[in-house]
Amino acid sequence: MTERRADGDGRIESATHYLPLRVHYEDTDLSGAVYHANYLKFMERGRSDYVRLLAIDQTALAAGPDGLFFVVRHCAIDFLKPARLDELLEVRTQFTGTSGARLYCVQSIWRGAENLARADLTLACTGKDGRPKRLPEILRQAVAGRQADAR
Amino acid sequence: MTERRADGDGRIESATHYLPLRVHYEDTDLSGAVYHANYLKFMERGRSDYVRLLAIDQTALAAGPDGLFFVVRHCAIDFLKPARLDELLEVRTQFTGTSGARLYCVQSIWRGAENLARADLTLACTGKDGRPKRLPEILRQAVAGRQADAR
Amino acid sequence: MTERRADGDGRIESATHYLPLRVHYEDTDLSGAVYHANYLKFMERGRSDYVRLLAIDQTALAAGPDGLFFVVRHCAIDFLKPARLDELLEVRTQFTGTSGARLYCVQSIWRGAENLARADLTLACTGKDGRPKRLPEILRQAVAGRQADAR
Amino acid sequence: MTERRADGDGRIESATHYLPLRVHYEDTDLSGAVYHANYLKFMERGRSDYVRLLAIDQTALAAGPDGLFFVVRHCAIDFLKPARLDELLEVRTQFTGTSGARLYCVQSIWRGAENLARADLTLACTGKDGRPKRLPEILRQAVAGRQADAR
């Protein structure tokens, strides 16, 4: 039984989702900072928790007849400053638009007022076979509604 | 500036630390369940957050003149049931004793009332060179005190 | 098209599989050594490459009508010495027996003549639903035959 | 003792490094394909193995008085097709230029003749404190020489 909301899942304000997260040993590499690819994991946590708070059930979509998954098609990311062990970070996520099977997204990672990373992502909705599928209507509407709210 | 406490860091009750965590895409493998090695990561998050709540600063210990790190020396783990995407889990951590450079630990992972994994771990405190170092006194006392509280 | 053999997949001698692997940045943590949970990943690479060299196709098993997966049920691991960036390691794998849905396994990690870790594992064959399934006959026979060869 | 060359470290032809690698369980997620952030890990393995074959010792640079590390500053990556368990992939790496503390890089991932991902990266050489350091001369010359060879 999955609880749909939990304190750790962050919060939505207007069209932005805010996810706090803690840097753990597993996230670091021998430079002492967070390994760069793990920023993408942090961002994916932000997107998933945002989607869950929008009442979209990725598990049900994946298990359903169409076997829907969200996959990253493109990511342009700037790594601005290193994050380190034990630091409390915040992932900010905005869905900036949709078109057909695509979902556009801007994300950033912050430590207090310092911007550590920012990224533009293009996601696609696909079936288990990898072919594009139209985004679930509930997600299209949620994104459209949130964007309208934010104006 | 690291915040020493945050909602996501769990709570201590008597001699047990409870850490809630959400299963994300990164944690799963193609079987649909959490990849087994990631249970060890979840447990390490539990230990680190417990230690932080005890006001022990792993970052300062690592950066200090002795360069102290906690490393896992032994782990015996039973994987009882699979965890899946989006599930809200709880990591429970008890430090069961110390001796010299060693810290003994029992941990388990739960989904509601279901026990998904349990492990016995032996940790060692080492310098950057890998040699054993006596556990910081603050940790020895914290563990001893917590155990007394739990009786 | 998956190539069934490649130079990087290691070799079998008698009843032992030997897999060379290189430590990369992603494997390390801020202590400068390999993060402990990643030893379990290294061992899983060894088991999978061994199974592939035995001509058992995990992908076909997973995609088949029964949806067979190998999951770790129990692991007792000793972390003896740290591994570091750029080091060339070797994972040694022996399947020591089978019974019903279970496969027993002894694994170790070496850097030249130094033993860095050793583990006993119990694996289970399960369906997508997590229920135990009898090990594929080809694997039972392969394990039995390899053990006979090794005597 | 780190062996400077191994069969698994790939090969350099003209100005391109080719690294074969196998997809393992740890790399996949519940969609059945490789988790997107792991493509960045694969690419980092390619860069590191390339640098090692150029006789540049990242471990010695990191441990030296300047504590040099290579960090990713920018990455633009296209995920073109999914990779799956057991597939044999190839990471291709070209260093396309240097300037001051920066190293420019083009990388791609292939499964046979199929291009699964391509990326442009900007790397920076930094000290332990995160400040930019001039690239080691040996690397500047290696990149310049390789580029001249490729013409």
CB < 8 Å to D86, chain C? 2, 48, 52, 57-59
Question: Where does the pLDDT of residue B136 fall: very low under 50, low under 70, confident under 90, or very high at 90 and above?
Answer: confident
pLDDT at A1: 38
Hey, are the CB atoms on D8 and C24 less than 8 Å from each other?
no
Q: Known catalytic residue: A149?
A: no
Name beta bridge partners: A91: A19, A109
Q: How far apart are CA A37 and CA B102, in angstroms?
A: 33
Regions of chain A where pLDDT drops below 70: 1-6, 147-151
Q: Which residue has the higher pLDDT, B39 or A57?
A: B39
Is B86 a residue whose pLDDT tops 60? Answer: yes
Q: What is the mean pLDDT of residues B42-68?
A: 89
What's the Cα-to-Cα distance from C87 to each of A107, C112, D135, rounded to whole Å?
A: 36, 10, 23
Per-residue burial over C3-13, b = 16 or more CB atoms within 10 Å of its CB, e = otherwise: eeebebbbebe
The CA-to-CA distance between both ends of chain C, in Å, stands at 36
Instruction: State chain C's mean pLDDT as an integer.
Output: 90
Task: State how far residue D16 is from chain C, nearest Cα, in angstroms.
Answer: 19
- Indicate the residue of B31, B73, B79 with minimum beta-carbon distance to C79: B73
CB < 8 Å to D38, chain A? 37
Q: What is the mean pLDDT of residues C105-126?
A: 97
Hey, are the CB atoms on A75 and D73 less than 8 Å from each other?
no
pLDDT at B150: 60
> Residue A140 in contact with residue A147, Cβ under 8 Å?
no
The amino acid at residue A63 is A
pLDDT at C59: 85
Longest dimension (CA), chain A: 45
What's the Cα-to-Cα distance from D117 to each of A37, A151, C3, D92, D150, rounded to whole Å?
A: 15, 36, 20, 10, 23
pLDDT at C4: 53
Which distant-in-sequence residues (6+ apart) come within 8 Å of D126 by Cβ?
D68, D69, D70, D71, D101, D132, D133
Q: What is the mean pLDDT of residues C79-108?
A: 95
**What residue ranges in chain B does DSSP mark as E strands?**
11-13, 16-22, 69-79, 88-99, 102-111, 114-126
Instruction: State chain D's mean pLDDT as an integer.
Output: 90
Contact status of C86 with chain D (Cβ, < 8 Å): yes
- Indicate the residue of A30, A40, A79 with minimum beta-carbon distance to D37: A40
Whole-model pTM?
0.94
Q: Chain B to chain C, count of Cβ pairs less than 8 Å apart?
A: 68
Question: Where does the pLDDT of residue D2 fall: very low under 50, low under 70, confident under 90, or very high at 90 and above?
Answer: very low
Please count the other Cβ atoms lying within 10 Å of the Cβ belonging to residue A129.
9
Selection from C71, C80, C28, C67 nearest residue C47 by Cα: C71
pLDDT tens digits, D81-110: 999 999 999 999 999 999 989 999 999 999
Contact status of B79 with chain C (Cβ, < 8 Å): yes
Parse chain D into domains and list their residue ranges: 11-144
Question: Where does the pLDDT of residue D48 fall: very low under 50, low under 70, confident under 90, or very high at 90 and above?
Answer: very high
Query: Domain C11-144 is classified in which CATH homologous superfamily?
Result: Hotdog Thioesterase (3.10.129.10)
Q: How far apart are CA A54 and CA A88, in angstroms?
A: 24
**What residue ranges in chain C does DSSP mark as E strands?**
11-13, 16-22, 69-79, 88-99, 102-111, 114-126
Task: State how far residue B27 is from chain D, nearest Cα, in angstroms.
Answer: 7
Task: State how far residue A74 is from chain D, nearest Cα, in angstroms.
Answer: 5
pLDDT at B85: 94
Chains that touch C (3 or more CB pairs under 8 A): A, B, D
